[in-house]
Amino acid sequence: MNKLLFRVIGFWILLLPFHAHAVLTIEITGGSEAALPIAVVPFGSEGFAAPEDISEVIRNDLASSGRFAPLPKSDLISSPHEKAEINFGDWRLLRSEGLLVGKVSSVDGETYQVQFQLFDVYKSQQLIGKRYQVPASGLRRLAHQISDLVYQTLTGEVGVFSTRLAFVTDMTASDGKKRYTLEVSDADGANPRSVLQSKQPILSPSWSPDGERLAYVSFENGKAEVFVQEMRSGRRDSVAAFKGINSAPAWSPDGKKLALTLSKAGNPEIYVL
């Protein structure tokens, strides 16, 4: 009897570690948030073709965020441009939670008025509505700004669609040598333009908080050197050309100071200029 009891107890003791191990290796993960269905209706225009398809830019911005699922154009039941033209029941059938409508009108052939409204479909309620006047050259930028407003209104987070990218490209020329180009563009990659071209590497571009200046590292003078360039005027100044490492520029939140990694005293250390 004692021998049998010992065997039974021993069996359960052997099982306990395996049971505990199974509990410890259980991994619980949160469910992923589904993209929010939203209808972006093509903006209306009064007898003319706008120089920029604002609604398409907004649609692409929202889709690229992964937080929204714009309805395909082919699924849109109607094309309202203001609240009076909206039948919210139609959009509920499509299970769209948000609805963006708007229109563009020409002021003088060079300036355009753009207005838009964002609605909560299930509450039949306007969430935001604004009107702007911009030159033709500013229509695409305005579209990104509207995307930011829509994003922030529906998620509570600040959008980044109206920010700009700074990046470096390189290519091999016909002589077999590399050429480096510092470029800036819209957040979606549109409107790229060259800021600096060099036969030497360009590294670590960093925007100032106001987007008016760009800091970067250039080897154009045979060593690492940190420059700050004004985007409007093109003026550029060398701010760090010390012996050794001059790298990794980063702006303070107010844009008044620049943090750098320098080794002018021997070891690499962080300095604030």
- 225-230 vs 213-218, strand pairing mode: antiparallel
194 contact partners, CB below 8 Å, separation of at least 6: 181, 182, 183
Q: Topology of 164-272 in CATH? A: Neuraminidase (2.120.10)
Rounded CA-CA distance 90/99 in Å is 11
Residue 213 phi, psi (nearest 5):
-135, 155
pLDDT (0 to 100) of residue 216: 98
pTM (predicted TM-score) = 0.78
Which part of the chain has CATH 2.120.10.30? 164-272
Which part of the chain has CATH 3.40.50.10070? 36-155
Q: Which CATH number fits domain 36-155: 3.90.25.10, 3.20.20.150, 3.40.50.10070, 3.30.70.1070?
A: 3.40.50.10070
Instruction: Collect the ranges in the chain with pLDDT lower than 70.
Output: 1-32
Cβ 252 vs Cβ 264: under 8 Å: no
pLDDT (0 to 100) of residue 28: 47
Give residue 27's identity as a one-letter amino acid code.
E
Cβ 96 vs Cβ 110: under 8 Å: no
Map tokens 């990218």 to a residue.
Answer: 165
